[in-house]
Amino acid sequence: MSERPRIATDTRERRVGLWFGLLCGVTLIVCTASLLFGAGAIGPAQSLDTLLRALTGRMTDDNAWFAIESLRAPRTAIGVLVGAALAVAGALLQAVTRNPLAEPGLLGVSGGATFAVAIAIALGADAATLRVPVAQFGALAGCLAVLAASRVRGAGEDPVRLVLAGAVLSGLLYALTSLVLLFDERTADEIRFWVVGSFAGRRPADVIALLPGLGVAGLMVIGIARPLAALALGEHVASGLGHRPRLVRLLVVVAVALLVGSATAIAGPIAFIGLVAPFVARALAGPDVRATLWLCLPIGAALTLGADVVSRLVVRPSELPLGVLTALIGAPVLVAVVRSRRLPTL
Amino acid sequence: MSFFNAPRTALGVIAILVLAVFAGPALAARTLDTAYGKVEIDGTPERVVTLYEGALDTAVALGSKPVAAVATRGGDSVAHYMQERVPGIAIVGTARETNIEAVVAQRPDVILASSNLSEPQYRLLSKIAPTVVPKHSYFAPDAWQNETRLFARALGREDKAEQLIQAFDERADKISAEVPAGTEATLARWMPQGPLVMSSKIFAGRVLAAAGFESPEHGDIADDRPHSDPLSLENLDRIDSDWLFLATLNADGESALAKARTSPAFERLDVVQRDQVVPVDGQLWTSASGPLAAHAILDDIARALGIASQP
């Protein structure tokens, strides 16, 4: 009797491992594409040639190498980090609210980070490094507000109500952001392009500023993955297994704030990645939150970076704002989630 | 009715007589050819409201003292270069939106507007006072000269318009003589993710052309747009030319340059290596127009070239 479930678990784990490997391969391919394609005159063939020469140690200091090393490489790194962070944040939020529609962009977490950064810029903060803690703080406030809303009687059981509460909060926060921009035209100039999301023009130092926050969040997620899975079975079961549901929820909130805050600080608010990636991950791996979290890493990275590559190619010699593109991908998925099932609570 | 009207009529007659005595030779009524048809204006308008930066500049250059204006783009008052000339002027809106009630409160004799004033707005404004809308687009050749002539006619200072245009032409020719043939200049606005290239058809582009600079045309900018979309940093070499005039929407060109310098892609440009990047005031270079702005831009150009800056 005890054999059968274990075999089932083993095959499931193997399947998840297989998918994970496969998706990491896809992410690598997208990363390569990100190094090869750009909005400029340096095409994929020339880029490949330069890249191969650099790999064999015959580096040159020409325009092609400059475009790859100084322009495309940082945004590739940012794409991978931001995508993975947003996907994991989405999966965490969905697990803790038991709601497949919970998404940082929809629930006001990104809105909180955006508002905080807008205020910081309006007050004269110029350094990109300062934006990271400010955005994380804003995301934390947004997170807590949404979870408070989800505690309101009845809202916890109804996924759509949580999304409505989040939509109200998002609307409020974006209205406040607009208000800041109206009062301070200098901020408007600086922030106008930031709020539509972009990876362009970031420096390696900006990427490094993200690493501590993301590292801490990563360790926290490893620590809370198991209790979170237990929590999916119900609060009583989780308590019975020796976990503390309140502590787990708090840790999830902090981790989400760190992840979303870091991502928003460097790239601006990028919607729907936190919805789409966990949605795909669950379709591949089933409902186990640990498997979902693992698969979210490569899915989020490949999706976000892929969108960035497309954004460089569609309106050359300019670039499409990344937030526009992810919304175009994400909105149909949102509709599909709402329509296809009876919104199962996770 | 007539009881109340009679004294008023008498007062009116007296007022006209007094005006006729003090104003000297009264100006004849004249008909202006505007974008929304013929507009009749009589005498010298005293209370002038300008709803367009170019109109404010032109009116002041013509010697008029407008009572109200709109805020410059990216600011909450008139552009920096105008501030000393019109201290304490009332602000009745922004470049995008006019506060109609504030305009009414100014009791204008004439309203000077931009060529892209919409028809519904025009109908509202023309009920308040004769509203003068230039016929030709802002992007047309000689746009500011034609606007100067039109506004001068509206204000009854026609003779002054040709003087202003001629003074500009003479000074621009002097500078142009110092600029080697085929020297290219690009005007761009810096954004962290890439620059906006300003069209050579905007006012500052026309002034640059008058001062002898050529404009490298890339075809990136639609005919009716003041600038391109933000270029990808990979295409930054498109703003490379002999001279680069760099602005932000704010007045502070130096900070735009400092920001741009943090970008490695910017540092690679030839024009940066040659140190021929000129930080300029975005309010003046990318949103103003008119004779005063033309001279202020020529000042900047002369300073950049290191030639005598006085006209």
Give the model's pLDDT for residue A128.
Answer: 59
Higher pLDDT, B263 or A299: A299
Contact A318 B193 (CB under 8 A): no
Contact A70 B264 (CB under 8 A): yes
CB-nearest partner of B265 from A42, A70, A185: A70
Contact A39 B228 (CB under 8 A): no
A255 and A217 Cβ atoms separated by less than 8 Å = yes
Q: What is the mean pLDDT of residues B271-276?
A: 84
Contact B234 A201 (CB under 8 A): no
Phi/psi for A139 (5° steps) reads -65, -40
What residues have CB less than 8 Å from B257, skipping those under 6 apart? B190, B246, B277, B279
Q: Which of B170, B168, B51 is nearest to B112 (CA)?
A: B51
Question: B152 with B198, same domain?
Answer: no
Rg (CA), chain A: 21
Question: B150 with B172, same domain?
Answer: no
Q: Is residue B258 part of a domain?
A: yes
Question: B31 with B140, same domain?
Answer: yes
Q: How confident is the model at residue B292 (pLDDT cuts 50, 70, 90)?
A: very high
* Residue B248 with chain A: CB contacts under 8 Å: 189
Question: B46 with B144, same domain?
Answer: yes
Question: B249 with B206, same domain?
Answer: yes
* Residue A42 with chain B: CB contacts under 8 Å: 234
Q: How far is CA B8 from the centre of its chain?
A: 41
Which of B123, B156, B189 is the endpoint of a domain?
B156
Query: Could you write out the three-class secondary structure of chain B?
Result: CHHHHHHHHHHHHHHHHHHHHHCCCCCCCEEEEECCEEEEECCCCCCEEECCHHHHHHHHHCCCCCCEECCCCCCCCCCHHHHCCCCCCEECECCCCECHHHHHHCCCCEEECCCCCCHHHHHHHHHHCCEECCCCCCCCCCHHHHHHHHHHHHHCCHHHHHHHHHHHHHHHHHHHHHCCCCCEEEEEECCCCCCEEECCCCHHHHHHHHCCCECCCCCCCCCCCCECCCECHHHHHHHCCCEEEEECCCCCHHHHHHHHHCCHHHHCCHHHHCCCEEECCHHHHHHCCCHHHHHHHHHHHHHHHCCCCCC
CB-nearest partner of A317 from B74, B192, B238: B238
Contact A312 B75 (CB under 8 A): no
Closest approach of chain A CAs to the CA of B76, in angstroms?
Answer: 8
pLDDT averaged over every residue in chain B? 82
Q: How do residues A93-148 score in pLDDT, each as one tens digit?
A: 888 877 787 888 778 888 888 888 888 877 766 655 677 888 888 888 888 887 77
**Number of alpha carbons in the 13 Å side-chain half-sphere of residue A37:** 18
Q: Which of A201, A251, A214 is nearest to A82 (CA)?
A: A214
Which residue in this structure is represented by tokens 């761009």? B188
Contact B264 A66 (CB under 8 A): yes
Give the model's pLDDT for residue B262.
Answer: 75
Q: Which of A115-124, A204-213, A293-302, B209-218 has the highest mean pLDDT?
A: A293-302
Q: Which of A28-37, A159-168, A228-237 has the highest mean pLDDT?
A: A28-37
Q: Is residue B276 part of a domain?
A: yes
Q: What is the mean pLDDT of residues A144-166?
A: 68
Contact A39 B232 (CB under 8 A): yes
Enter the ipTM: 0.71
Q: Which long-range contacts (CB under 8 A, 24 or more apart) does B252-256 make?
A: B252/B281, B253/B278, B253/B279, B253/B280, B253/B281, B253/B282, B254/B279, B256/B189, B256/B190, B256/B282
Q: Is residue B219 part of a domain?
A: yes
What residues have CB less than 8 Å from A117, skipping those under 6 apart? A131, A134, A135, A138, A191, A194, A264, A265
Question: B150 with B180, same domain?
Answer: no
Contact B249 A185 (CB under 8 A): yes
Query: Could you write out the three-class secondary structure of B13-72?
Result: HHHHHHHHHHCCCCCCCEEEEECCEEEEECCCCCCEEECCHHHHHHHHHCCCCCCEECCC
* Residue B228 with chain A: CB contacts under 8 Å: 318
Tell me how far apart the alpha carbons of residues B91 and B289 are, in angstroms, rounded to a whole number: 18
Question: B69 with B198, same domain?
Answer: no
pLDDT over 80 (residue B174):
yes
Question: B87 with B178, same domain?
Answer: no
Total domains present in chain B: 2
Question: B61 with B143, same domain?
Answer: yes
Q: Which of A253-267, A291-305, B227-241 has the lowest average pLDDT?
A: B227-241
Q: How confident is the model at residue B49 (pLDDT cuts 50, 70, 90)?
A: very high
Higher pLDDT, A69 or A190: A69
Give the model's pLDDT for residue A215.
Answer: 93
Higher pLDDT, B184 or B222: B184
pLDDT over 90 (residue A199):
no
Q: Is residue B5 part of a domain?
A: no
pLDDT over 50 (residue A82):
yes
Mutate to test the interface with A, among B97, B221, B234 (most CBs of A within 10 A): B234
CB-nearest partner of B250 from A189, A194, A312: A189
* Residue A76 with chain B: CB contacts under 8 Å: none
Contact B268 A66 (CB under 8 A): yes
Q: How confident is the model at residue A28 (pLDDT cuts 50, 70, 90)?
A: very high
What are the distances in angstroms from CA A331 to CA A112, A271, A275, A307, B225? 21, 9, 9, 14, 31
Higher pLDDT, A260 or B76: A260
Q: What is the mean pLDDT of residues A275-288?
A: 87
Q: Which of A44-53, A214-223, B202-211 has the lowest average pLDDT?
A: A44-53
CB-nearest partner of B235 from A39, A186, A194: A39
Closest approach of chain B CAs to the CA of A278, in angstroms?
Answer: 30
Q: Is residue B1 part of a domain?
A: no
Contact B234 A186 (CB under 8 A): no
Tell me how far apart the alpha carbons of residues B182 and A309 are, in angstroms, rounded to a whole number: 38
B193 and B233 Cβ atoms separated by less than 8 Å = yes
pLDDT averaged over every residue in chain A? 81
pLDDT over 80 (residue A8):
no
Domain range list for chain A: 74-340
Q: What is the mean pLDDT of residues B91-104?
A: 87
Task: Return the CATH fold of A74-340.
Answer: ABC transporter involved in vitamin B12 uptake, BtuC (1.10.3470)
Contact B249 A38 (CB under 8 A): no
Contact A185 B75 (CB under 8 A): yes
Closest approach of chain B CAs to the CA of A344, in angstroms?
Answer: 41
Encoded tokens for B296: 């202020």
Written as one letter, the residue type at A5 is P
Q: Is residue B232 part of a domain?
A: yes
Question: B172 with B96, same domain?
Answer: no
Give the model's pLDDT for residue A268.
Answer: 83
Higher pLDDT, B292 or B43: B292
pLDDT over 70 (residue B21):
no
pLDDT over 90 (residue B79):
no
pLDDT over 80 (residue B157):
yes
Contact B74 A189 (CB under 8 A): yes
Q: How do residues B217-241 score in pLDDT, each as one tens digit?
A: 766 677 777 777 778 888 888 888 8
Question: B207 with B280, same domain?
Answer: yes
What are the distances in angstroms from CA A63 to CA A39, B205, B260? 14, 29, 18
Which of B117, B137, B156 is the endpoint of a domain?
B156
Mutate to test the interface with A, among B72, B233, B237 (most CBs of A within 10 A): B233
Contact B194 A203 (CB under 8 A): no
Query: Domain containing B111 — which CATH number?
Result: 3.40.50.1980
Written as one letter, the residue type at A142 is G
Q: How confident is the model at residue B166 (pLDDT cuts 50, 70, 90)?
A: very high
CB-nearest partner of B234 from A71, A185, A198: A71
CB-nearest partner of A40 from B76, B192, B234: B234
Higher pLDDT, A62 or A228: A228
Rounded to a whole number of angstroms, the distance between the first and last alpha carbons of chain B is: 60
Phi/psi for B84 (5° steps) reads -70, -25
Residues of A with CB under 8 A from a CB of B: 38-42, 63, 66-67, 70-71, 185-186, 188-190, 193-194, 198, 200-201, 203, 312, 315-319
Rg (CA), chain B: 22
The residue in chain B having the minimum alpha-carbon distance to the alpha carbon of residue A187 is B74
Which of B156, B188, B222 is the endpoint of a domain?
B156
Give the model's pLDDT for residue A148.
Answer: 78
pLDDT over 80 (residue B260):
no
Question: B150 with B189, same domain?
Answer: no
pLDDT over 90 (residue A301):
yes
Q: Is residue B142 part of a domain?
A: yes
Tell me how far apart the alpha carbons of residues A104 and A275 are, in angstroms, rounded to a whole number: 8
Tell me how far apart the alpha carbons of residues A265 and A212 are, in angstroms, rounded to a whole number: 13
What are the distances in angstroms from CA A325 to CA A49, A234, B191, B230? 30, 37, 20, 17
Give the model's pLDDT for residue A204.
Answer: 83
Task: Compute the count of residue pairs across chains A and B with CB atoms less than 8 Å apart.
Answer: 74
Quote the domain boundaries for residue B141. Answer: 20-156
Q: Which of A11-20, A65-74, A147-156 has the lowest average pLDDT?
A: A147-156
Closest approach of chain B CAs to the CA of A317, in angstroms?
Answer: 6
Q: Is residue B13 part of a domain?
A: no
